Amino acid sequence: MIPWKAYAALAAAVAVGLAGCSAGGGRSSPRAASAAVVASIQNTGSDTLLNLALAWAERYMVEHPQVRISVTGGGSGTGIASLINGTTQIANASREMSAEEVEQARKNGIDPVRFTVALDAIAVVANLENPVSGLTVQQLSDMYTGKITRWSEVGGAPWPVVLLSRESNSGTYLYFLEQVVRRGNAKGKELFSPETLLMPSSQGISAEVQQNPNTIGYDGLGYVTAQQKTIAVARSAVGPFVRPSVRTVLDKSYPISRPLFMYTAGEPTGEVKAYLDWVRADGQKLVRDVGYVPLTEDGR
């Protein structure tokens, strides 16, 4: 389960092309390297999906050596912009495209088609030394808007709360803003506190949480490590307080969970269609192993 995380940590920092080219820093099997390439697929976007996208691409290329799949991160906004600009065939996104983005794409002659490829929980994480074990969505909102500034206000030690967030280009940032900071209110105007530290990557959040006992952050379930404490979350003060897991996402008891998407420019055809069909069928067998949630309980 963990080897993909080590691989993706490097991929998050640089553009990773899984093309078997030594100059590209990618990785491929001898079988894949020796086959004649008949199709290349560019896959760009969500850092949340990066681990899983890399795992899928590598496995698919072993099984289909005539296909090369190049995977890069950069955030959901980057992937969607690349789709709109016609520079990627598949955009990974941890959020839905906005109406403005869809309109812009159509002005460019592109009709985006969305595919749900996995599920995810946004885990709320803290330092292992932090005694707080559970928070409500309201308390999280109050912390991230600056109304709660010390851990003692939520049953912890008298430490200042250090807020960590992904950057605004991240789909995870937008989802957390809408569903936690604004508590799902479509007309909400709440914003992240200006004291919030915006981290450029999931690895940045993880590193800061590990070294600073005052921090609180959030990230996709696939990026949570044993060096972080996951906080149980409740929709209200009466509970239940639930920790993120495959089970609690599938049974919908964890309050902060979401689908993950791949977008194409129009209905996919050829090798792109074959790859997406595989991702949503046999590819689901990899999802749990990489730390995400499959579309169904049996992983199919």
Specify the DSSP class assigned to residue 20: S
CA torsion sign, 72 to 116 to 118 to 123? Answer: positive
Tens of pLDDT, residues 285-294: 999 999 899 9
Per-residue pLDDT of the chain (300 residues; tens, 9 = 90+): 434 444 444 343 333 343 433 333 344 434 444 457 789 999 999 999 999 999 999 999 999 999 999 999 999 999 999 999 999 999 999 999 999 999 999 999 999 999 999 999 999 999 999 999 999 999 999 999 999 999 999 999 999 999 999 998 888 999 999 999 999 998 999 999 999 999 988 889 999 999 999 999 999 998 899 999 999 999 999 989 999 999 999 999 999 999 999 999 999 999 999 999 999 999 999 999 998 999 987 655
CA 78 to chain centre: 13
How is 212-274 classified by DSSP, letter by letter? -TTEEEEEEGGG--TTSEEPEEESSTT---B---HHHHHTT-SSSEEEEEEEEESS--HHHHH
**Which residue, 141, 184, 180, 144, is CA-closest to 164?**
144
pTM over 0.85: no
